[in-house]
Amino acid sequence: MRSLAAVALLTFALLTSGCASLLDQADETTGWSANKLFTEAKNAIADGNFERGIKYYEKLEARYPYGRYAQQAQLEVAYAYYKQQEPASAVAACDRFIRLHPTHPSVDYAYYLKGLVNFNEDLGVLGYVANQDLTERDPKAARESFEAFKELVTRFPDSKYTPDATARMKYLVNALAAHEVHVARYYMKRGAYIAAANRAQFAVKTYADAPANEEALFIMVKAYDALGLNDLRDDSERVMKKNFPNSEYYKRGLNRSEPWWKLW
């Protein structure tokens, strides 16, 4: 019995060591330094192999959890997820970095990247080519993008990312206003005048100075007129004529031939 037990233990030990040896052989990164893991991860990302790059960064953080390489790896993982078009993972990685390293020299970039994740890069040239009405999209991503950029601009006014974030914020404000106007126009065409007026009024009050508010005011004028609310109609028209004295909407109405970003 003792002999059998000894044989069993020896066999188990051999199998265990054999499995460990195979695992070590399978993991090419065994014995890599933090610097090598970081370099190889960065090279993988540069080559477009985001999955491998993320794997290397995660191994780096697991094996060397302290120091500048681990901190930078967390930020690089967020960028890799962004390039891999995994927005939820990218935002989660940005939030984690901000939470763990609120005073890190690169925390401003974390806010900037978080804003970029939800910013629709195709709002400009691609939207122009495709003639797509981008106001029909769900504005949730635009709002989250705006809030991230706003946090960056407020907390880090001297950041090198602030000028670009500010420009994107201005763009997003009009996109959000245009979304509200799109909904208001939808209600207007279906005779839901109260809903149309309320949505247009929300755009004017919430997104002051947005170019889309020209149409919002016109919708308010038409909606209040249809409802027989003459005082509100006159007030809206007075504001519209003061801010847009030569508005084309008086001539063409709500039958727009150009998307809002072409009018801007």
pLDDT tens, residue by residue, 46-79: 999 999 999 999 999 999 988 889 999 999 999 9
pLDDT of residue 58: 93
Dump pLDDT digits (tens) for 9-20: 545 554 555 454
- Structure tokens belonging to residue 144: 């989250």
pLDDT of residue 29: 83
Of 1.10.8.350, 1.25.40.10, 1.10.10.10, 3.30.1490.270, the CATH number of 31-102 is: 1.25.40.10
Counting as low any pLDDT under 70, the low residues of the chain are: 1-25, 120-138, 254-264
HSE-CB for 238 with a 13 A CA cutoff: 6
pTM for the structure as a whole: 0.71
pLDDT of residue 7: 46
pLDDT of residue 36: 92
What are the sequence ranges of the domains in the chain? 31-102
